[in-house]
Amino acid sequence: MRFKTSARFALALTVIMGGMTYAHDNNLTPATAAPSDDPYLWLEDIHGDRAMDWVKAQNAVTQQQFAGSPEFTTTRDRILEVLDSNARIPYVERRGDYLYNFWQDKAHPRGIWRRTTLAEYRKAQPQWELLLDIDALNKAEGKRWVYKGSDCLKPAYTRCLISLSPDGGDAIEVREFDIPSKSFVKGGFELSVAKTQASWIDENHLYVGTDFGPGSMTTSSYPRIAKMWTRGTPLSAATTVYEGKTSDLAVSAAHDRTPGFERDFISVAHDFFHSDMYQLKDGKLIHLDVPVDAANVDAHREWLLVQLRSAWTVGGTTYPSGALIATKFDDFMAGKRQFTTLFAPDAHTALSNYAWTRHHVILNIMDDVKSRLDVLTPQADGPWKREDMAGAPQFSTVEVIDTDQDHSDEYWLSVTGFLNPSSLERGVLGEGQAQTIKQGPTFFDASKFEVSQHFVTSQDGTQVPYFEIAPKGIMLDGGNRTLLYGYGGFEVSLQPFYSGSIGRAWLERGGVYVIANIRGGGEYGPRWHQAALQANRLRAYEDFAAVAEDLIKRGVTSPSHLGAEGGSNGGLLMGNMLTLYPQLFGAIACEVPLLDMKRYIHLSAGASWIAEYGNPDDPKQWAFIQKFSPYENVKKGATYPSVLFYTTTSDDRVGPVQARKMAAKMEGMGYKNVWFYENLEGGHGAGADNKQSAYMHALAYDFLWDRLQ
């Protein structure tokens, strides 16, 4: 059972490729009183009449400028064709004898949850068993539910917990669902809308973290208390198994149902990168003495795997940052501290992730941001056996998307590249090479383009890689419209991917698309991320600027033809490109962004990111945070590129108010090249269905293309 704090609570990476509001989230209190010299505080009233009137007026202006032309309609419709295409791969997850899939298309905008068998799935047109139609549910209930996933009780997988968001945000309603009858269980487990964590113990018990009432949520707006809830009893009767601090990020509990290795665990995330793990045994909490900043702590059958963020000296051996090490779980709990190193990074490699099958571990390794896979097998006596898996195509990403951990060595691979449509492969370790089961469609003519990888020296001498997708025979005369994308935070890596939307909306027009692998991400493991934390945040922005300067120096583009795009933490990156490096860009698309770094910890889930950015309420930390706070650093009378801020009313993670305030402040300073758009639904992902997503993506692409003339 793996616990990975950063994956569970991260700002989701918002890539333009193909609820219950808690009082402390968005309202001012004496403890979080905002500075009186901020004239745009009224925009923090998310659903207030004045704020929403402003939003509607802004939307109308932006739509008239960029969404009223035949060109926009064409862009939107061609992106929607990609998102709704019935030729897309229906990615699946194995649960027992069935493969489960959630699918959205033109006929099912909110989606259907369905399943089939492996034999059927191999067919070109599988027969699917419909389990739940979200559009039909919405019609019956008069709601606008957005499907957020399911958790089914193994080994039978007949009872599931279905998560539904009222608007696409992180807050969800949880309902128990019965697979055989294809219906919600009357009188079954049900939780009202909140930022909830719920998981099965057995058919009559759940672990639950939710809004139990005042004081039960952390300052970051996640569950502070984990309880065990018994079927047939009110939620108020649930028994507390762990109670964290208000200052913690979140508390969660989980039960491992693996036969012979049944265990219960409590995870106490103190912030994004520090957590404590406990085994709950016979009513007692036993602390797992692993580093508090471990990226992964994984108890799997007889094994304990630890993925390190920092070097750890234990048992007389020092294991490096970024390493994956293993020992027997029972030995570790008995006090033994001898580990086997399964992976150790070097200057060019980092561990992207790993996955267990029944008898093996598959390592996904990035080598200068390109994928390779290794298979490790524990031996009864002696070291683990290591084998290479078949190599991936150049400039590609190979990802293990599912395995059968309980019964077999089956694995499923997604293989994708900038110019190679994604494919889905299935294999069984020990039974030959994986076979392609599904092939994604081609949405644009890739033969006209080529991919290259470049390295540029950043301001402090660090070599920073970036990928460039450009027309073959490109003229290096500085005249190419070029879109530079970045993220640079939370140890998230940007690897090669296929996007029909980018191909159609940008590349086919003759544009160049570039991805910058800047520090703050995880492309070279923890060291790459930690190099841009808190006081070192400017390193990420220096890296991005260095890539922009290199594109200009090489003649790929020029400032008037260079655009930049990023969302969430990448939106903060865009805000800093706007305010710190405006001379490098002709236009910037800033999506669901953080921007007001003075107020961010008092807005939505902002308090959960202090470990990444620092605490602005601490004057010493504000001294360095202020340097990368776009809302503070935007100045009157400067020359800024055109900028589009877009966000969603229902985003309960970052929230819409930072984008609102930044746009209003710039307009108040007299800037005419500032545009704003706010979608009502979709949460942090900016779209509740494919139609909304296509609209938002087309708006960004057409804005950038229009401004980069």
Please report the DSSP string for 290-324 in residue order. Answer: S-TT-SEEEEETTEEEEE-SS-EEETTEEEPTT-E
| CB 625, CB 591: distance < 8 Å | no
Q: Report the pLDDT averaged over residues 676-702.
A: 88
Q: What is the pLDDT of residue 680?
A: 85
What span, in angstroms and rounded, lies between the C-alpha atoms of 541 and 484? Answer: 13
Say whether 684 is catalytic.
yes
Q: Is the pLDDT of residue 29 over 50?
A: no
Q: What percent of the chain has pLDDT over 90?
A: 90
Cα 475 to Cα 313: distance, rounded to the nearest angstrom = 53
Residue with tokens 């301001």: 459
Q: Which CATH number applies to 443-707: 3.50.50.60, 3.40.50.1820, 3.30.310.10, 3.30.70.100?
A: 3.40.50.1820
Which pLDDT band, with edges at 50, 70 and 90, does 36 fall under?
low
DSSP string, 277-294: EEEEETTEEEE--S-TT-
Catalytic residue, candidates 270, 360, 684, 697: 684
What is the spatial distance between Cα 225 and Cα 173, in angstroms, rounded to a whole number?
18
pLDDT at 222: 97
Q: What is the pLDDT of residue 4?
A: 55
Residue 95 host element (H or E): strand 93-95
Span between the terminal Cα atoms of the chain, in Å: 52
Residue type, 574: M
Chain CA centroid to CA 2, Å: 17
Core vs surface per residue 324-360: b (16+ CB within 10 A) or e: bbbbbbeebeeeeeebeebbebeeebbbbbbbbbeeb
Task: From the candidates 568, 608, 629, 650, give the one annotated as an active-site residue.
Answer: 568
pTM value is 0.93
Q: Within 10 A of 69 (CB to CB), how many other CB atoms are there?
A: 13
Task: Choose the weakest-confidence range: 165-174, 390-399, 642-651.
Answer: 390-399
Question: What are 416's two structure tokens?
Answer: 């994708």
Chain mean pLDDT for the chain: 93
- In the prediction, which pLDDT does 417 show? 95
Beta-bridged to residue 674, according to DSSP, are: 643
Indicate whether 677 pLDDT > 60: yes
Write out pLDDT tens, residues 515-536. 999 999 999 999 999 999 999 9
**Structure confidence by residue, pLDDT tens digits, 353-384:** 999 999 999 999 999 999 999 999 999 877 89
Q: Which amino acid would we find at residue 409? A: D
User: Would you call 568 a catalytic residue per the annotation?
Assistant: yes
